[in-house]
């Protein structure tokens, strides 16, 4: 499992698709709020269209009070997690989705977040032996589903032999099934299929080595017949990321239609994650109510449906907060150099977007004098690479040395996908607010 970026965040996820900040007319959507420290009032900016469903105007992210207070105290940079907000969000997702809900730990395996989510989920999806061991230690007894390509023999043995054994193992290939069967342990499996379904509007399609072509399933059935200790429970399909509720339901309908022709009688179908988070509209939310209602009408009595979202569960609860070290003009453009960088928050680089942010101006004006940027500013970190960019040419009213910048939507695929050790800068602090 080494050498491959985590599923959902490949290095070139958006290569060739055009960067979001290059889209004309969208720059102002990332603008920092106009003035003051409170910025968007609580609740302001809510009620946006769901991601991908016509969200045209983006508001700055509303900064929860506890996060704002921590943002204004040392040390910085810091990841600040809003645990109360996470619990409230998870409770609303739980209430809206009448199917089994697993959390994809790869989005953020922070133990405090896992513990906050635990009461609202039926289990945790893991994609490596490392994640499995971590989740077992953090939430003893929790149900786990183990997926991901390239499982080693050691990982398979830990999955079926550890305590508790994994609840479901997602088989990625006939070869993997053969190695699993050789362990001669009772195991419940889902076969992961890579169906050629029509998907429009996906940020990322899971093409490539993920799951099996439908033709490979016959080989699996032959193997299963000879290894009755491996029980076939159903199918798994995670086919795309970044979809709004309507297209995700269309994918679900296609997967279920296919599953019904392939497997008769009671069965489980895990429909993956991939619920969109709109980085241009940080207060918008995936339409869980529509998605849950859609799943309820798709499901048949003999079917157990399961979903395993990651990003859309934890993205909103995390903030990467730092302060401005330098402000300068270079070739006619304003730059603000921030403490830290994309070695802490890699998300804008991997996804090719501007990370939304809120500015908390320094008390009493710019610290240590120095220039004050206004208008379009590019926010960069301390790394010696032109790729160390959080947001490009974003209009601000003012940005000066000593101002604090709080980047929103930093709770998923953020710290845990970042290249922490490049240049050996200090690590960020981690703070958990629970108001
Ligand atoms: C198999 C599987 N399930 C669930 C997820 C979670 O996806 P997301 O974070 O987009 O909801 C991923 C992410 O790549 C995945 O590979």
Domains and CATH numbers, the chain: 30-81+316-433 (2.40.37.10), 83-314 (3.20.20.10)
CB contact burial 159-168 (16+ within 10 A = b; e otherwise): bbeeeebbbb
Catalytic residues: 384
For residue 234, how many other CB atoms are within 10 A of its CB? 21
Say which residue the tokens 């998923």 belong to: 412
- What does the pLDDT read at residue 29? 26
Ligand 1 lined by 104 (C-beta under 6 Å): yes
- What does the pLDDT read at residue 76? 97
Mutate to test the pocket of ligand 1, among 51, 272, 347 (most ligand atoms within 8 A of CB): 272
Ligand 1 lined by 274 (C-beta under 6 Å): yes
Give the residue among 337, 368, 353 at the shortest CA–CA distance from 410: 353
Ligand 1 lined by 392 (C-beta under 6 Å): no
Give the residue among 116, 117, 115 at the shortest CA–CA distance from 103: 117
- What does the pLDDT read at residue 32? 35
Q: What pLDDT digit, counting tens, does each position of 374-431 carry? A: 999 999 999 999 999 999 999 999 999 999 999 999 999 999 999 999 999 999 999 9
**Nearby residues of 229 by Cβ (< 8 Å), 6 or more positions away:** 181, 184, 185, 186, 187
Say which residue the tokens 């076939």 belong to: 232
Q: Whose CA is nearest to atom 10 of ligand 1?
A: 274
Sites in the chain below the pLDDT cut of 70: 1-60, 201-207, 364-369
Q: Whose CA is nearest to atom 5 of ligand 1?
A: 273
- What does the pLDDT read at residue 203? 65
C-alpha count within 13 angstroms, C-beta hemisphere, residue 94:
15
Helix then strand then coil, in percent of the chain rounded to 5, is: 30, 25, 45
| Residues 401 and 327 sit within 8 Å (Cβ to Cβ) | yes
Ligand 1 lined by 275 (C-beta under 6 Å): yes
Ligand 1 atom having least distance to the Cα of 242: 10
CA 8 / ligand 1 centre spacing (Å):
6
CA 383 / ligand 1 centre spacing (Å):
29
Phi first, then psi: give them for residue 337, nearest 5 degrees. -95, 120
- What does the pLDDT read at residue 363? 79
Q: Is 11 exposed, middle or buried (0-12, 13-18, 19+ CB in 10 A)?
A: exposed
- CA separation for the pair 175, 173 (Å, rounded): 5
Ligand 1 lined by 411 (C-beta under 6 Å): no
- CA separation for the pair 235, 270 (Å, rounded): 6
Ligand 1 lined by 398 (C-beta under 6 Å): no
Q: What pLDDT digit, counting tens, does each position of 146-182 carry? A: 999 999 999 999 999 998 999 999 999 999 999 999 9
Mutate to test the pocket of ligand 1, among 123, 245, 310, 416 (most ligand atoms within 8 A of CB): 310
For residue 283, how many other CB atoms are within 10 A of its CB? 21
Ligand 1 lined by 147 (C-beta under 6 Å): yes
């Amino acid at each position: 499992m080494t050498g491959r970026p985590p599923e959902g965040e490949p290095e070139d996820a958006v290569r060739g698709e055009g960067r979001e900040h290059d889209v004309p007319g969208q720059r102002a959507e990332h603008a920092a709020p106009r003035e003051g420290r409170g910025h968007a009032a609580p609740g302001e900016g809510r009620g946006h269209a769901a991601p991908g469903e016509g969200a045209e105007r983006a508001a700055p992210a509303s900064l929860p009070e506890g996060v704002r207070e921590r943002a204004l105290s040392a040390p910085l940079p810091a990841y600040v997690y809003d645990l109360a907000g996470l619990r409230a969000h998870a409770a609303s997702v739980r209430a809206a989705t009448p199917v089994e809900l697993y959390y994809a730990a790869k989005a953020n395996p922070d133990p405090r977040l896992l513990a906050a989510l635990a009461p609202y989920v039926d289990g945790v999806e893991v994609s490596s032996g490392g994640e499995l061991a971590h989740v077992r230690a953090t939430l003893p007894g929790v149900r786990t589903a183990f997926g991901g390509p390239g499982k080693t023999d050691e990982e398979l043995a830990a999955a079926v032999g550890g305590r508790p054994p994994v609840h479901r193992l997602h088989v990625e290939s006939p070869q993997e099934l053969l190695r699993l069967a050789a362990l001669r342990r009772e195991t419940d499996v889902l076969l992961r299929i890579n169906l050629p379904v029509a998907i429009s509007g996906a940020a990322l399609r899971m093409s490539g080595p993920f799951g099996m072509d439908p033709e490979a399933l016959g080989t699996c059935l032959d193997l299963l017949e000879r290894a009755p200790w491996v029980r076939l429970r159903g199918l798994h399909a995670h086919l795309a990321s970044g979809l709004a509720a309507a297209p995700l339901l269309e994918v679900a309908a296609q997967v279920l239609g296919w599953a019904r022709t392939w497997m008769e009688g009671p069965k489980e179908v895990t429909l993956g994650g991939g619920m969109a988070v709109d980085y241009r509209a940080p207060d918008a939310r995936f339409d869980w109510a529509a998605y849950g209602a859609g799943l309820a009408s798709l499901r048949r009595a003999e079917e157990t449906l399961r979903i395993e979202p990651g990003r859309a569960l934890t993205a909103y609860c995390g903030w990467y907060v730092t302060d401005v070290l330098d402000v300068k003009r270079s070739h006619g453009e304003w730059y603000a150099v921030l403490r830290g960088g994309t070695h802490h928050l890699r998300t804008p680089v991997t996804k090719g977007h501007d990370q939304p942010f809120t500015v908390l101006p320094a008390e009493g004006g710019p610290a240590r004098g120095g220039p004050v940027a206004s208008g379009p500013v590019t926010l960069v970190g301390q790394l010696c690479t032109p790729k160390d960019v959080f947001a490009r040419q974003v209009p601000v009213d003012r940005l000066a040395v000593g101002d604090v910048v709080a980047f929103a939507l930093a709770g998923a695929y953020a710290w845990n996908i970042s290249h922490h050790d490049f240049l050996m800068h200090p690590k960020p602090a981690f703070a958990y607010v629970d108001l």
